Amino acid sequence: MEEAITAGRVTINGKTALTGQPVAPGDRVKVDGRLVYLKFSSRLPRVLLYHKPEGEIVSRDDPQHRPSVFAALPRLSGARWVAVGRLDFNSSGLMLFTTSGELANRLMHPRYELAREYAVRVLGELTPEARQRLLRGIDLSDGPARLSTLDEAGGDGANHWYRVSLSEGRNREVRRLFEAIGVTVSRLMRVRYGPIALPPRLRRGQSLELGERDIRQLMADLGMVSEDRK
């Protein structure tokens, strides 16, 4: 089909199709002038919340054979869980998984600017200058980055906790921002991804599946509407 699209043989609603162009129910798709009937699934995707513990990798293939988050997820028949972003091996907290690649892509796409919120523990307190640098922006190896919010969250002894958020999910971005100002993060936990918060009752290593109502609301927030609601 991709070759036919590139050759200009495919039209959508009378206009020449573009590679990667989405097709929705009700669209008229023709190949070489002949109408093509497309089937659309009316089933909602499944969405799973998982409380990742430290010491698990977000990968199905690890040369070091470390424990994988996928081993702890419910088994699926005829589908597979797609991870929405990642958490590094030494980080914990909320991870989202879905059976829909499109939904996963929207949740991760910078266009939607979904906030990721973390609880961060460091040794000592941040100076006002350090806080300003984190909020103003720092040049990292893969480009400038900054925190969207930074709030005190208490602490005992020499350790202090902060609540921080940012609207992108580059590799180890929070840790690297703190490292850039000379502060080492000793614990990092994601507590929210977009509109979904880590449920207090969800213990480490446990998962919780969203209900249909919450999935429909999530899809609506991202501009997606399931076929059964059209």
Per the structure block, which two tokens stand in for 167?
């609207």
Pairing state between β 10-12 and 15-16: antiparallel
Given 88, 139, 214, 228, which residue is catalytic?
88
CA distance 177 to 140: 8
Phi-psi sector, 55: left (phi>0), alpha (psi -120 to 50), beta: left
For residue 100, count other CB atoms closer than 10 A to its CB: 20
Q: Residue 50: which residues within 8 A CB-CB, separation 6 or more? A: 69, 72, 73, 94, 95, 96, 97, 206, 207, 208
Known catalytic membership, residue 214: no
CA distance 39 to 36: 10
Residue burial 41-73, b: 16+ Cβ < 10 Å; e: rest: eeebbbbbbbbbbeebbbeeeeeeeeeebbebb
**Which residues does the annotation mark as catalytic?**
88
